[in-house]
């Protein structure tokens, strides 16, 4: 007899976002988004996406009721994309009949676990850039402010790599929603465990003091603004767009998009990061 497949409901909410995180996940190549949504993510375990404003067919009152019904049932995996506008009681962003702040808080209260997808949901990101008039915050800060103890994983990146999301979901499902090993910023160590600079194919140029004077030139991109020495992710090994290339591979300096300092403290983007920020590099 075939063992029954266990279904994990997923509620996906969007705050202040460009929706790039959804676009990135929709571009997942292995597995494809169809595999992710229809097949078993890990043997015997299947995601059931109950609410996602961008890709669901329902709209208006029907969608709003579906969301309310899922929140009422609870026990789902909550994916939050985008920062949460929290100034003035949440007046700067609305979802259905309520503020994003109120809906995300209600949804987090009833969730089994939360994935903050993207740098905005993790740390505030671009919507929280100075002067941040809408008071945008990331999920960890929101949960702290409300005293909510729901398990949280941050999957930052602007946008995050689809593998980082899919791999995190697979790890959560394998462990029956137990959190995988995380760093002190709640990022899965499997994807954010080492500095870009440690694995960069241009590292020999850095060590030899051969620096590009313009983006696109050969050489280390440190003096044209590369934030690889202060940025944790596996981009140099994983590459993007199904293994085609990555920022530094095209001659563009890393912008530090997986870090809580993004974007204010890694700006100006095309200027050298201050040496004071450099961790000890062996």
Q: Take residue 212 and report the two structure tokens written for it.
A: 């590009």
Q: Which residues 55-94 are close enough to bind ligand FSX by CB under 6 A?
A: 81-82
**171 touches ligand FSX by CB under 6 A:** no
The answer to whether the CB of 79 falls within 8 A of the CB of 120 is no
Q: Which residue is nearest to ligand SF4 (CB)?
A: 228
Note if 94 is an active site residue: no
Of 52, 136, 161, 235, which is the active-site residue?
Answer: 235
- Residue 266 within binding range of ligand SF4, rule CB under 6 A: no
The CB-of-155 to ligand FSX minimum distance in angstroms stands at: 10
* Phi, psi (rounded to 5 degrees) for 94: -130, 150
Segment 24-31 long-range contacts (CB within 8 Å, at least 24 positions apart): 24/157, 24/159, 24/160, 24/161, 24/162, 24/165, 25/117, 25/160, 25/162, 25/165, 25/166, 26/55, 27/162, 27/241, 28/162, 28/163, 28/165, 28/166, 29/162, 29/242, 30/242, 31/166
SS3 content of the chain, % helix, strand, coil (to 5): 35, 20, 45
- Give the number of other Cβ atoms within 10 Å of residue 131's Cβ: 4
Distance of CA 272 to the CA centre of its chain: 25
- 256 lies in the binding site for ligand FSX (CB under 6 A): no
Choose among ligand SF4, ligand FSX, none what residue 17 binds, the Cβ cut-off being 5 to 8 Å by kind: ligand FSX
Q: Which of 19, 27, 146, 199 binds ligand FSX (CB under 6 A)?
A: 19
Instruction: Considering the candidates 52, 136, 161, 220, report the single residue annotated as catalytic.
Output: 220
203 sits near ligand SF4 (criterion: CB under 6 A) = yes
Q: Does 132 bind ligand FSX (CB under 6 A)?
A: no
Q: Has 136 been annotated as catalytic?
A: no
The CA distance from 157 to 96, in Å, is 27
Looking at the DSSP bridge assignments, the partners of residue 154 are 116
Angle ∠(63,32,84) on CA atoms, nearest 5: 45
Nearer to ligand FSX, 95 or 212 (CB): 95
Under rule CB under 6 A, residue 159 binds ligand FSX: yes
The reply on whether position 162 binds ligand FSX by CB under 6 A is no
* Residue 229 lies near ligand SF4 (rule: CB under 6 A): yes
Burial of 272 from C-beta contacts in 10 A (0-12 / 13-18 / 19+): middle
Query: By CB under 6 A, how many residues form the interface with ligand SF4?
Result: 14
CB of 77 to ligand SF4, least distance (A): 33
Q: Which of 171, 226, 230, 257 binds ligand SF4 (CB under 6 A)?
A: 226
Which of the stretches 19-27, 71-79, 88-96, 134-142 binds ligand FSX when contact is defined by CB under 6 A? Answer: 19-27
- Could you tell me the smallest distance in angstroms from the CB atom of residue 121 to ligand FSX? 6
Q: Which is nearer to ligand FSX, 119 or 222 (CB)?
A: 119
Q: Which of 52, 136, 161, 197 is catalytic?
A: 197
CA trace torsion 95, 27, 256, 216 (10° rounding) = -140
Q: How far is the CB of 202 from ligand SF4 (least distance, A)?
A: 4
Q: What is the contact surface with ligand SF4 in residues (CB under 6 A)?
A: 196-197, 200, 202-203, 206, 220-222, 226, 228-229, 248, 254
């Amino acid at each position: 007899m075939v063992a029954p497949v266990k279904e994990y409901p997923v509620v996906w909410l969007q705050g202040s976002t460009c929706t790039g995180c959804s676009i990135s996940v929709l571009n997942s190549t292995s597995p494809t988004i169809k595999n992710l949504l229809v097949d078993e993510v890990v043997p015997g375990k299947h995601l059931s996406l109950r609410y996602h404003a961008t890709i669901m067919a329902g709209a208006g009152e029907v969608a709003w009721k579906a969301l309310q019904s899922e929140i009422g049932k609870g026990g789902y995996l909550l994916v939050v994309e985008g920062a949460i506008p929290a100034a003035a009681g949440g007046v700067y962003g609305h979802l259905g009949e309520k503020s994003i702040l109120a809906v995300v808080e209600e949804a987090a209260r009833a969730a089994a676990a939360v994935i903050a997808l993207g740098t905005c949901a993790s740390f505030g990101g671009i919507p929280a850039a100075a002067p941040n008039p809408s008071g945008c915050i990331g999920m960890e800060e929101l949960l702290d402010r409300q005293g909510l103890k729901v398990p949280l994983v941050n999957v930052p990146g602007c946008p995050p790599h689809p593998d980082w999301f899919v791999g995190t979901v697979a790890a959560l499902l394998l462990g029956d929603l137990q959190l995988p090993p995380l760093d002190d910023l709640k990022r899965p160590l499997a994807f954010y465990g080492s500095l870009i600079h440690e694995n960069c194919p241009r590292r020999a140029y850095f060590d030899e003091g051969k620096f590009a004077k313009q983006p696109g030139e050969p050489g280390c991109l440190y003096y044209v603004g590369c934030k690889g020495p202060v940025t944790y992710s596996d981009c140099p090994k994983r590459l993007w767009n199904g293994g085609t290339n990555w920022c530094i591979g095209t001659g563009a300096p890393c912008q530090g998009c997986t870090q809580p300092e993004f974007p204010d403290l890694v700006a100006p983007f095309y200027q050298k990061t201050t040496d004071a920020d450099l961790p000890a590099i062996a």
